[in-house]
Every structure is written in structure tokens, then in C-alpha cells.
Structure 1
Amino acid sequence: MLNEYPIIHTNIWDAVWAVPVVLLIVLAAKWLFHVRSSWLSTVATVSALLLSIFISHRGNLPAGIFMGFFYSGAAIGVLYSVKQSFLAIRES
């Protein structure tokens, strides 16, 4: 059938170590390599896809791609929400 969804086995390690690792990679790219802010989401997506495909969900390409986008979205969401919260507190 064409409407079958991939089976993705996720566990606590996805949230405990994958998202913080992607966040650390993005922050290292920003601070050490002076990557512009407009490229941070690209760095997050590429690093999350590599981490997910080759480490977290090895042997299951659809699950690796699917979860890689979630890792990058979570890492960028944390980064930008902390930034906006800091700016809002500073303005008040």
C-alpha cells in the first residue's frame, strides 16, 4: 500500500541527548566559526540529519530523516525562544 507510514522507534535518549548535541553544535558554529544567524537553521538541520541518520536511527533511513528534522526544529526553537525571552526581559 502507498499510505503506510514508517515505523519510528523513539526513546528518551532522543530528547535527552540528541537535541542538546545539536544545540551545542549550533552554538559552537556560532561562537567558534562566526556563522551568521541566517545560516544557523541550516547548520542545525544538517547536523541533526547526520546525527539522526548515522547514529540515532541507523539502518532506518525514513526514521532518520523524519527524526532529524524534529531534532533540528527543537534545537532552533530552544535557541530562538531563549534569545527572545532574554530580549524581552532586557527591555522591561
Structure 2
Amino acid sequence: MLTEFPIIHTNIWDAIWAIPVILVVMVIMKAFFKLSTAWLSTVATVLGLLISIFISHPGNLSAGIFMGFFYGGAAIGLIYSLRNSFVAYRQG
């Protein structure tokens, strides 16, 4: 029976390069594939999972999945935060 949480070793540099990569890929996909805004969260989550599972944590699937959701969530949170700030600036 699983009674302990897995130990996840991560590095701050993983998040510092992964989130901008996700942002750039999302912007490119939105421009080239005419991706609607409703799909941005899904694309960010999938990209975060792919980067985390295959690059940041290739030997630990549970850590890759766990951190992938954080990478995707941070990227989409940044996009929506910047968008709301820009809209507020334009209205003010």
C-alpha cells in the first residue's frame, strides 16, 4: 500500500525555461493554426506535461505529471494575467 508521498526533485531553472517555451509555442500555435482562446488552457497543460515528462523528469513519471500541471498552469495564468492587465490599461 502506498503510504508515502513521492520525492520530487526539481530545479528552479526548469520552470524558468519551461514556462517561456510553453508561452512561445502557444503563441505560434494560435497564430498558425487559428487556435481559439478556449483551447489555450488545454494546449498549455499538454505542453507542460510533455516538457516535464520527457525533458525535466524523464526517469520519474509521477514527478513529470505533477510538475507538468504546474508548468502548464503557470503559463496559462501568466497569459490570462497579462491579458487582463492589458485590457484594464486600455480601459483606464
| Structure 1 residues 45-68: Cα deviation after superposition (integer angstroms, max 9, x where no partner) | 111111110111001000000000
User: Aligned pair 1:73/2:77, yes or no?
Assistant: no
Deviation at 1:15, TM superposition (A): 2.1
* Structural mapping, 1:46-61, within 5 Å: 46-61=46-61
- 1:25 and 1:88 mapped to 2: Cα distance? 26
- 1:24 maps to what in 2? 24
- 1:43 maps to what in 2? 43
The TM-score with structure 2 as length reference comes to 0.94
- 2:16 and 2:86 mapped to 1: Cα distance? 24
Deviation at 1:2, TM superposition (A): 2.2
Let me know the Cα RMSD of the aligned residues. Answer: 1.0
Deviation at 1:28, TM superposition (A): 1.1
Structure 1 stretches of 4+ with a deviation exceeding 6 A read none
- 1:31 and 1:37 mapped to 2: Cα distance? 11
* Aligned residue pair count: 92
Query: What SS class does the counterpart of residue 66 from structure 1 fall into?
Result: helix
